[in-house]
Amino acid sequence: MSNARVGQGFDIHRFSDDPNRSLVLGGVAFEGPGLEGHSDADVVAHAVADALLGAAGLGDIGDHFPDTDPQWKGVDSMVLLSQVGTLVREAGWSIGNVDCSVVCEMPKLAPQRAAMQANLSEACGAPVSVKGRRAEGLGALGRREGIACWAVAVISKE
C-alpha cells in the first residue's frame, strides 16, 4: 500500500479596476492590471496551497486564511504558501512536487516562469512547475476578464 496522496487546487480571480493594485503571479510582479482579492490575489500561490492542503486532508486555504479576517488583508501569498508547507510537514507529510497550469490571455508568463517556479518552490519547500495556457478567446478567461490556475500536488509519508 502506498503512502502517497494527491491533491488538486484551483483558484480564479477577476481583474481589478483599481489602478493601484499590482498583478502578482507566483510571487512575481507583472505589468498590467492587478487581480481582485482580499490578499494580493496571487492565483498561482493559492492553487498550490489548496492542492497541498487537499492532499494532506487539511481543508482549504479559506479554512486557514479566511477573507473575513483583517490580518490577511493584502498579505503576500508567498507567506501563506510558506505557512501551508509548514502545516503539511507538521502533519507528517513530505511534499514531492506540485504542477500548475495557469490560464490567461495576458500577461505572457514564459519570461518570468523560472522566477515563479523558484519563488513557489522556496515558499512551499518542494519543486513547483508552472505552465502557461491561453483560453484561445473562449469564455471569461479568453475575454481577458481574469486569470485561473489549476495545481496538482503529490505528498507522501515514509
Residues 122-158: tens digit of each pLDDT: 999 999 999 999 999 999 999 999 999 999 999 999 7
Question: 143 is in which domain, residue-wise?
Answer: 4-156
Domain count, the chain: 1
Q: Write down the pLDDT at residue 1.
A: 46
DSSP letter assigned to residue 16: P
Task: Map residue 4 onto helix, strand or coil.
Answer: strand
Kindly report, residue by residue over 70-106, the tens digit of the pLDDT. 889 889 999 999 999 999 999 999 999 999 999 999 9
Kindly report, residue by residue over 10-56, the tens digit of the pLDDT. 999 999 999 999 999 999 999 989 999 999 999 999 999 999 999 99
Q: What is the pTM of this model?
A: 0.96
Report the CATH number that the domain containing residue 122 is assigned in CATH.
3.30.1330.50
Give me the amino acid identity at 138: L
The alpha carbons of the chain give a radius of gyration, in whole angstroms, of 15
DSSP letter assigned to residue 73: T
DSSP bridge partners of 146: 14
Q: Write down the pLDDT at residue 13.
A: 97
Q: Write down the pLDDT at residue 77.
A: 96
